[in-house]
Chain A
């Protein structure tokens, strides 16, 4: 349990809804859920954009650029800055995984 400073006017509002510790804990829980969902959705939008742009899943795309010189040349001709997409593509996939795990932990409590 940690102590957090909360403005007294907000605290007074919270008290109207019941036990202040419970209300604050529940509010924080809702906030964490909302933020996690928002992060997951935003990352998924980016991932879908990359999948559409490159016509493949990240796993397929990453494998091909690392093993297939012809595929790499084709990608490079069409998307000369593909690397900046690829590094963010992986980043967003990891982000979805991380925030999904966070969300699941919150929901289990």
Chain B
């Protein structure tokens, strides 16, 4: 965990520094068995929030873009009732706690299942996503 997470967080931080503005590293803590990275930044006129957690039982993330406190787009893999039902249907209660990668639309009015996201793909996505107004 230690070496890999350190290398990964260094890469994510370098990416953020290269592609975002007003970078604030809120937390960057790595131990032998767990690691957490949280970065707040600006992209164009929007707020960007990146959070990654690495543990032996899995990696969690949330990558969000906001404007004046309103979510424009967001990716995370924390399970909620909508995404569990979308992925597992009526059997969703047997899958509670399982990580489910998904994307939220504007003001979180829509949600769709996605592939696993990472910081690099999220930042690539930002560059190509023009419908944020």
Determine whether the beta carbon of B78 is less than 8 Å from that of A72: no
Determine whether the beta carbon of A83 is less than 8 Å from that of B78: yes
Determine whether the beta carbon of A76 is less than 8 Å from that of B108: yes
Determine whether the beta carbon of A87 is less than 8 Å from that of B53: yes
**Which secondary structure dominates where chain A touches chain B?**
helix
Determine whether the beta carbon of A72 is less than 8 Å from that of B82: yes
Task: Kindly state whether residue A51 has any CB partner on chain B within 8 Å.
Answer: no
**Are A67 and B49 CB-contacts (below 8 A) given A80-B70, A81-B71, A98-B33?**
no
Q: How large is the interface on A (under 10, 10 to 19, 20 to 34, 35 or more residues)?
A: 20 to 34
Q: Within the assembled complex, what's the spacing in Å between the Cα atoms of A96 and B55?
A: 14
**Are A81 and B80 CB-contacts (below 8 A) given A76-B108, A91-B36, A98-B34?**
no
* B interface residues, tally (CB under 8 Å): 30
**Are A84 and B76 CB-contacts (below 8 A) given A94-B34, A98-B33, A98-B34?**
yes
**Most chain B CB neighbours (cut-off 10 Å) among A69, A87, A95:** A87
Determine whether the beta carbon of B96 is less than 8 Å from that of A67: yes
Task: Kindly state whether residue B24 has any CB partner on chain A within 8 Å.
Answer: no
| Residue interface mask A78-107, B partner, CB < 8 A = 1 | 001101101110010011001000000000
Q: Within the assembled complex, what's the spacing in Å between the Cα atoms of A94 and B36?
A: 13
The residue that B84 contacts in the complex, of A66, A76, A87, with Cβ under 8 A, is A66
Task: Kindly state whether residue B9 has any CB partner on chain A within 8 Å.
Answer: no
Task: Kindly state whether residue B81 has any CB partner on chain A within 8 Å.
Answer: yes
Q: Within the assembled complex, what's the spacing in Å between the Cα atoms of A26 and B15?
A: 43
Q: Within the assembled complex, what's the spacing in Å between the Cα atoms of A69 and B85?
A: 11
Q: Within the assembled complex, what's the spacing in Å between the Cα atoms of A76 and B33?
A: 31
Q: Can you report 19 residue pairs joining A to B where beta carbons are below 8 Å apart?
A: A63-B96, A65-B80, A66-B79, A66-B92, A67-B81, A68-B81, A69-B82, A72-B80, A72-B82, A81-B71, A83-B74, A83-B78, A87-B53, A87-B62, A87-B76, A88-B51, A91-B34, A91-B36, A91-B53
What residues of chain A have their CB less than 8 Å away from a CB belonging to chain B?
62-63, 65-69, 72, 76, 80-81, 83-84, 86-88, 91, 94-95, 98
What residues of chain B have their CB less than 8 Å away from a CB belonging to chain A?
33-34, 36, 38, 49, 51, 53, 55, 60-62, 64, 66, 69-71, 74, 76, 78-82, 84, 92-93, 96-97, 107-108
